[in-house]
């Protein structure tokens, strides 16, 4: 589209549609809980922030498609920040791999770099994981006064 940013609501809707396709492919195996708490939904965010996080969870956290995977997607307003998190109940990330994240050239690195460039801040992507206990990736999107 040539746009660098889109309204948050568009990003959420695109991800909802992507998840609907995945749930049609894996009925009764892929569960999703949405927790969205926003005063307004038109905050500008960089394109393709949320969908790659969902895709990562499905590809990497869910090696055994016979076991259910549940994703929790939370979007909420903090003080001058929008927090977006994707949590899964998948296999988790081994500590030795966590220390290397985000790996250059991968989705998390791409998202981290784009957020840092746009908002001139570091540490806007946080990853927490326990082997066998799932993973959560949290994005912090600074809200600028227009």
| Distance, CA of 39 to CA of 37 (rounded, Å) | 7
pTM of the model: 0.91
pLDDT tens per residue, range 4-14? 889 999 999 99
Which is it for strands 69-78 and 81-88: parallel, antiparallel or unpaired? Answer: antiparallel
| Distance, CA of 77 to CA of 79 (rounded, Å) | 7
What's the average model confidence in pLDDT over 66-70? 93
pLDDT tens per residue, range 84-125? 999 999 999 888 888 887 777 788 899 999 999 999 998 999
pLDDT tens per residue, range 31-50? 999 999 998 888 999 999 99
If you average pLDDT over every residue of the chain, what do you get?
91
CA 65 to chain centre: 21
Closest residue by Cα to residue 119 from 66, 11, 45: 45
């Amino acid at each position: 589209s040539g746009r660098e940013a889109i309204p948050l609501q568009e990003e959420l809707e695109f991800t909802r549609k992507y998840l609907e396709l995945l749930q049609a492919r894996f009925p009764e195996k892929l569960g999703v809980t949405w927790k969205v708490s926003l005063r307004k939904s038109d905050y500008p965010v960089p394109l393709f922030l949320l969908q790659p996080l969902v895709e990562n969870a499905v590809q990497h956290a869910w090696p055994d498609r016979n076991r259910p995977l549940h994703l929790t997607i939370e979007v909420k307003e903090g003080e001058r920040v929008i927090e977006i998190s994707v949590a899964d109940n998948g296999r988790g990330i081994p500590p030795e791999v966590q220390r290397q994240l985000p790996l250059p050239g991968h989705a998390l690195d791409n998202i981290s770099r784009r957020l840092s460039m746009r908002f001139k801040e570091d540490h806007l992507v946080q990853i927490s994981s326990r082997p066998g206990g799932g993973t959560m990736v949290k994005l912090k999107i600074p809200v600028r006064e227009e």
